[in-house]
């Protein structure tokens, strides 16, 4: 037995799942209690360490999510929106911390998390890295300081297997820019340019998505005016920056009151305190 926080990892076979498992098992501050995969996955029933072509870790991959979460203190979830909503219900039932790094969630899906946050601690962010969350704050401040003479463009690049666009991080940066200008992103977002689109509408926030190779994550926020450009940039060269942030969130959430939080709360950067 251990008094260390017990961590369950969803999507164990995925890129983030493997990274998280490696970091948890190397940590002295937490312990891996469950590795979760979808029903029928070839890893189910196997020791997760051996499935990852390493030494046995004593944790068998399971598709029984409810039982896995009953024996955990936190679940870390980088999966897909529909799966995340299912995990949220079970995490709330178990009363454990749910750290959500899933991207591509619609406004309706995010809103659907609200009832679960009344019973459990939910920490959700479009990006878990310290650097990106600092970039978010900088973006909001620069947007607030500059008027609409400065066009805002958010350019993001990811690997060729990423299924959603713009990325969750790009949207997070867009929300920050919109907040800085005191507008709704839904009203000023410009995501699709193809053909004869006409001139750019003043005040719009543009998005461009690049997909290729094994790019982990690159995000630029460009403020472009006549005669000058200001570019804020974050480049992730190692996927572990996101995993380390998620684990930090899982630890921070222990003993926290039920509610909806984000990485700014975890990092002590929230304007709400």
Q: How far apart are CA 45 and CA 59, in angstroms?
A: 10
Residue 239, Cβ density class (10 Å: 0-12 exposed, 13-18 middle, ≥19 buried): middle
Q: How far apart are CA 246 and CA 231, in angstroms?
A: 27
Q: How far apart are CA 174 and CA 184, in angstroms?
A: 10
Catalytic residue among 41, 159, 162, 234: 162
H/E stretch holding 155: strand 151-158
162 catalytic residue (yes or no):
yes
Cis peptide upstream of residue 166 (ω within 30 degrees of 0)? yes
Catalytic residue among 98, 158, 234, 248: 158
CB atoms within 10 A of CB 224: 16
Tell me the CA distances in angstroms from 104 to 139, 159, 168, 169, 247, one per residue in order.
21, 15, 6, 10, 21
Q: How far apart are CA 173 and CA 196, in angstroms?
A: 27
201 catalytic residue (yes or no):
no
Tell me the CA distances in angstroms from 220 to 31, 83, 154, 227, one per residue in order.
36, 30, 6, 19
- Residue numbers annotated as active site: 158, 162
């Amino acid at each position: 037995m251990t008094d260390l926080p017990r961590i369950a990892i969803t999507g164990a076979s995925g890129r983030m799942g493997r990274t998280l498992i490696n970091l948890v098992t190397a940590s002295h501050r937490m312990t891996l209690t469950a590795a979760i995969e979808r029903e029928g996955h070839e890893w189910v029933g196997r020791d997760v360490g051996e499935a990852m072509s390493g030494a046995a870790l004593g944790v068998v991959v399971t598709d029984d999510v409810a039982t896995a979460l009953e024996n955990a203190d936190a679940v870390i979830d980088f999966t897909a929106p529909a799966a995340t909503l299912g995990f949220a219900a079970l995490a709330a039932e178990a009363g454990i911390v749910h750290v959500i790094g899933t991207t591509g969630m619609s406004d309706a899906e995010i809103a659907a998390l609200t009832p679960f946050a009344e019973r459990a601690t939910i920490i959700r962010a479009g990006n878990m890295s310290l650097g990106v969350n600092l970039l978010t704050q900088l973006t909001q401040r620069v947007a607030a300081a500059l008027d609409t003479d400065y066009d805002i463009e958010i350019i993001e690049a990811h690997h060729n297997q990423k299924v959603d666009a713009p990325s969750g991080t790009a949207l997070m940066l867009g929300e920050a820019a919109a907040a800085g200008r005191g507008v709704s992103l839904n009203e000023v977002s410009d995501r699709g340019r193809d053909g004869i689109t006409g001139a750019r509408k003043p005040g719009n926030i543009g998005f461009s998505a690049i997909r290729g190779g094994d790019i982990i994550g690159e995000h630029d926020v460009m403020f472009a005016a006549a005669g000058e450009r200001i570019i804020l940039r974050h480049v992730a060269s190692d996927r572990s920056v996101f995993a380390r942030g998620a684990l930090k969130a899982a630890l921070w959430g222990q003993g926290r009151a039920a509610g909806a939080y984000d990485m700014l709360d975890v990092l002590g950067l929230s304007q709400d305190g």
